[in-house]
Structure 1
Amino acid sequence: MSDFTFPAGFITGSDGVSRPPWAEQTELLRDYYDTEWGVAVTDEQGVFERLSLEAFQSGLSWVTVLRKRPAFREAFAGFDPDAVAAFDEADVERLMANEGIIRNHAKILATIDNARATVALRETGTDLAKLVWSFRPENQELPTSLETIPSTSPESLALSKTLKAAGFRWVGPTTMFALMEAIGLVPKAQRPFLEGQS
């Protein structure tokens, strides 16, 4: 990767690693960017967790979600789709009273509905992870600047439509593009090729 050039606008931190500005805001974001962002997630539970957290992030900062992620995992049974799909009104009340998570009633209900849709997908011969990964872009061109990094793509729009048709909610094309970036479906233009960094 010695010939890799980071897009214009990246910041080189005190550790010599180049990152986009959002990843240099806090130590938590730097660690997430360096170790998780853009790394392939291919299991159903892992994709369901990230889809859920991207929905909770909508309208908020990602660092807010990261700080609350341990509480989210505990509150949502480790994001086990089968467990969350069985949540009832008592669970909704429990979640709304949980100060450790983002207490948004609509997003909580959407997460439960999305767990049920995840379980239902299996009856079609696929699962959430396989479905999401089927929308991996064929064109993997890297942007040349932060300004040219898109917030949606034809694939994220198509994924959004497919998921909505399957009963998923809070899965708009921008949120799905963020998911696709986070779990490794699109170019790692905002993530350093760490093996080539010193």
Structure 2
Amino acid sequence: MSGSGQNTAGVRCGWCGTDPLYQAYHDQVWGRPQYDDLALFEKLCLDGQQAGLSWLTILRKQHNYREAYDCFQPEIIVRYDEERIQELLANPGIVRNRLKIESIIRNARGFLALQEEGLSFSTFLWSFVGGEPRQNTWKTLTEVPVYTPEAQAMSKALRRRGFNFVGPTIVYAFMQAAGMVNDHLVTCPSYRPCRALASQPGDSPAPL
């Protein structure tokens, strides 16, 4: 999703509507800087699962995904074999698409390959924004880009390392959610709290 915001009267932006889960996600997670390796891995994988679907669909299945994918522990996921893939394809609690299932396994390999190089997944991803959140000053949702040069660069780097379902649009949605960019509108009550968190690395929100 691109853009977010609620005005000073408390009216949230259109993408989170009236759904309580979506509103809580907007208020407590979206745009708040996340630095934890495994939380970022989970988020990137889930954003890839969103392709062709709404984020709310995936958000509602997030608990199911954590159960199905061993809490997104890459060292376990890389050992998934065809039998495990078939089990996932039969799991009604997740998106049952072979390419998307295999993408999480591929991403786990990429994650571990970075570790073997001595690179933190968080440090690698945050390097594309210079290690700190970009503070945008959008006044309307129409100003918010679908992706940026930084998202394109991250997408290319991830693909080179074997990740997939990481196109620029998906990657930018990930960057927005992980607080690498503050894309709350300046009139949104969440804008200033997210801006303040930019100077407090390590104070990551717990994902819903």
Residues 150-161 of structure 1 mapped to structure 2, 5 A cutoff: 150-161=145-156
CA distance in 2, matches of 1:61, 1:140: 26
Cα drift, residue 148 of structure 1: 0.7
Cα drift, residue 19 of structure 1: 2.2
Question: TM-score if structure 2 supplies the norm length?
Answer: 0.83
> Is 1:104 aligned to 2:104, yes or no?
no
> Is 1:149 aligned to 2:111, yes or no?
no
CA distance in 1, matches of 2:7, 2:56: 20
Cα drift, residue 141 of structure 1: 2.9
Q: How many correspondences in the alignment?
A: 186
Aligned match for 1:59, one of 38, 45, 52? 52
Partner secondary structure for residue 135 of structure 1 = helix
Contact kept, 8 Å, 1:110 with 1:168, in 2: the verdict is yes
Residues 34-49 of structure 1 mapped to structure 2, 5 A cutoff: 34-49=27-42
Q: Deviations over 1:163-197 (max 9, x none)?
A: 1111111100000000000000002425632777x
Aligned match for 1:173, one of 165, 168, 172? 168
Q: Deviations over 1:48-98 (max 9, x none)?
A: 100010000111011100111110000000011111112111110110000
User: Identical aligned pairs, as a percentage?
Assistant: 38
Contact kept, 8 Å, 2:5 with 2:184, in 1: the verdict is no
Tell me what 1:164 maps to: 159
Letter in 2 for 1:85: V
> Is 1:70 aligned to 2:72, yes or no?
no
Question: TM-score if structure 1 supplies the norm length?
Answer: 0.87
Superposed CA RMSD in Å reads: 2.1
Gaps of 5+ in 1: 1-8
Residues 81-92 of structure 1 mapped to structure 2, 5 A cutoff: 81-92=74-85
Contact kept, 8 Å, 1:18 with 1:192, in 2: the verdict is no
Partner secondary structure for residue 100 of structure 1 = coil
Tell me what 1:5 maps to: none
CA distance in 2, matches of 1:64, 1:164: 25
Contact kept, 8 Å, 1:76 with 1:84, in 2: the verdict is yes
Partner secondary structure for residue 40 of structure 1 = coil
Cα drift, residue 104 of structure 1: 1.0
Tell me what 1:192 maps to: 189
Which structure has the higher relative contact order (CA within 8 Å, separation 6+)? 2
Contact kept, 8 Å, 2:136 with 2:183, in 1: the verdict is no
